[in-house]
Structure 1
């Protein structure tokens, strides 16, 4: 018996769980069989797998006891977040056929399990350049992961004016 789960803010992410296979919908849903692992991917690039559950995030795509800021989590999150046209989550990540094609061209160069988060820099730059979007930085990704772990969802980071950047004098 299949039930529905949500992978928030991601449309078009491929999944496979037992006899269920498809892509996350416009409302971010996918189907899973309780007690069974769900594999999430973009074309041939497997992002990871998680036990099927009502709410799944990129942090669930690594083994259960993996720390929030482990490079495996950061690499997966940075890769996925970089596919968003926005700076934050003001719009969902949409994985369409063009994104799948571009990711597929570079899939053999992507090591999401690398212990060095900068290993994604070159390939992510190439992918995002072809898609006409800017890759997310490691610090941007860490901020979103930290907020998510605290139960916060920031749609977009905005600069806040401070009085002379803290140095006294006029507003900046």
Structure 2
């Protein structure tokens, strides 16, 4: 017997999200994207058709296929970059794509996490330095509630002679280096903001935030986005019970709730095919079910057949990547043979 406990839950969750304006495409074909989670609020953005400042949750509107530029006055943090549903400063540097999009295999499945660390720790000056700058202009210096760029902060930057000289491409060791480069444009600009807008007894920041602070903030964003987006991806069943000897082909749908894009990549394996803690795979692996080879991401489904005996149990690991996103998301389904 095939159990499908998630179908009703999925429909209910979709209805709740739709009622809350969960970020899908609107009736005029515009879509909503988010910078950060919690978001970066009050940052200027511009697409080919839209412009304004990001909302309280970091949201901005665009038409599919457009690129976006983020800026404050003459300080351009990212220019004409591809838009994805959730964005971070990692996306501000398009040169990292060849590094991070292929992913790497860990434990028998593809993942983005190793490449994400590499981008932040070695590859992208832009990602690290823009993150540090955004942390530095946050009104309350508390990234746990997001970044808040006030109207007055934007006005100060727009009128500053130091803004145009800020260069996010330089080595993070030199960016904001108060000891060796105290009169660098970014230091002078942040000091100016500290004097006029940002700093108070609660926010005593007088120079650009340290590289470690920016990296930690981006890592937190990545974790939050991973959990938030992963919470919109479901398998139609979490547990299937089937009779041993059943010769049917079982097909399981993948549900994307309030996500306007499809799947770009799909990997489906049983835990019996994956290496154990010592990196070893049984030879031959235990056979409880057999995954039908080469599931296509476009179909948003996978199939399997029963090969084991009564009383046996296994788990299926479904690993997937969304179109336009480098992150891999995993879902697990249990199969019990009666």
TM norm structure 1:
0.75
Deviation at 1:141, TM superposition (A): 1.7
Quick one: distance in 2 between partners of 1:147 and 1:94?
17
Deviation at 1:87, TM superposition (A): 4.4
1:30 corresponding residue in structure 2: 60
Query: Matched residue of 1:112: which SS?
Result: coil
Query: Matched residue of 1:18: which SS?
Result: coil
Query: Matched residue of 1:25: which SS?
Result: coil
Query: Matched residue of 1:68: which SS?
Result: helix
Quick one: distance in 2 between partners of 1:139 and 1:62?
18
Deviation at 1:79, TM superposition (A): 0.2
Deviation at 1:144, TM superposition (A): 2.3
2:90 corresponding residue in structure 1: 59
Question: Does structure 2 retain, via aligned residues, the 8 Å contact 1:110–1:120?
Answer: no
Query: Matched residue of 1:113: which SS?
Result: coil
Q: CA distance change for structure 1 residues 26 and 147 in 2, over 3 Å: closer, same or farther?
A: closer
**Count of residue pairs brought into register by the alignment:** 152
Quick one: distance in 1 between partners of 2:49 and 2:142?
34
Question: Does structure 2 retain, via aligned residues, the 8 Å contact 1:85–1:91?
Answer: no
Question: Does structure 2 retain, via aligned residues, the 8 Å contact 1:15–1:23?
Answer: yes
**Aligned match for 1:90, one of 134, 144, 149:** 144
2:120 corresponding residue in structure 1: 68
Quick one: distance in 1 between partners of 2:145 and 2:220?
17
Deviation at 1:152, TM superposition (A): 5.3
Quick one: distance in 1 between partners of 2:157 and 2:213?
21
2:217 corresponding residue in structure 1: 144
**Aligned match for 1:16, one of 34, 46, 53:** 46
Structure 2 residue 112 is the aligned partner of structure 1 residue 81 = no
Structure with higher Rg: it is 2
Structure 2 residue 35 is the aligned partner of structure 1 residue 7 = yes
Quick one: distance in 1 between partners of 2:125 and 2:195?
23
RMSD across aligned positions (CA): 2.3
Deviation at 1:11, TM superposition (A): 1.1
Residues 33-57 of structure 1, C-alpha deviation per residue, up to 9 Å, x if partnerless?
2122111111232110331221111
Question: Does structure 2 retain, via aligned residues, the 8 Å contact 1:74–1:138?
Answer: yes
Quick one: distance in 2 between partners of 1:60 and 1:25?
19
Structure 2 residue 132 is the aligned partner of structure 1 residue 102 = no
Quick one: distance in 2 between partners of 1:79 and 1:51?
21
User: Is there any run of 5+ residues in structure 2 with no aligned partner, and where?
Assistant: 1-28, 98-118, 178-186, 226-338
Q: CA distance change for structure 1 residues 59 and 113 in 2, over 3 Å: closer, same or farther?
A: same
